[in-house]
Amino acid sequence: MRDFDFKAARRQVTEILSIVEECPEPLKARCFELLFGVAFADLPKVNPQGKVPIPRSNVGLAANGSLQETGERELPGSVAVFARKYGVSSAQLHKLFLIDHDPILAVYKIKTKVKSRAQLQKVMMVLLENGLRNDRIKIAYPELRDAVRDAGLYDGNFNKTLKHNAGLFRGAITEAKILEGESVELTGKGMQRLADIVEDLAGSNV
């Protein structure tokens, strides 16, 4: 522990606590455990007897402060393929979602003040969340619009923002118009943008 950066750790714990405060009361303890485990994943981990190391992907913090195996839920196939192809790590996803909770909960924060950029980030994250929940990185346009509205990011320029970024999408979103009765999916370019957004949000949320 001689080289451990306690000041940096204090900053991380403070940020974790600020995120936890936004979670529903019954989920706060679990949220803290998961975020703490991800934030300090690079520390050497051993079991309470100091014997066989526990694999990082299966380690969490128990209520008594000891390390324990968590039995993390495997990523759905569509998300696993996306993550592998575009270099998204499981640790990044666990920073942004409580994947082991049922139902899965989003804990990321969109911090940009530019409305069009925030809208695009939210759209991408809603698609990813649907992939985590239903194994399909795809969602009906009305559901997508409602999710953006519920997040307080919807305005009269929402469809304009989508059409301006039509190259990222296929299905309901085209450069000419929005087909409200269809679903929204991502092109290869859209998948890459999603990966970039995951990296950006994961870096700024913990």
First-to-last C-alpha distance (Å) of the chain: 21
DSSP 54: P
pTM exceeds 0.75 for this model? no
CATH 1.10.10 positions along the chain are 77-205
DSSP codes joined into one string, 12-48: HHHHHHHHHTTS-GGGHHHHHHHHHHHHTTTS----T
CA atoms of 119 and 100, how far apart (whole Å): 26
**pLDDT tens digits, the chain, 206 residues: what are they?**
455 666 777 777 888 888 877 777 767 777 777 787 777 766 544 444 443 333 334 444 444 444 344 456 789 999 999 999 999 999 999 999 999 888 899 999 999 999 999 999 999 999 999 999 999 999 999 999 999 999 999 999 999 999 999 999 999 999 999 999 999 999 999 999 999 999 999 986 54
Q: Which CATH number fits domain 77-205: 1.10.10, 2.40.50, 3.30.10, 1.25.10?
A: 1.10.10
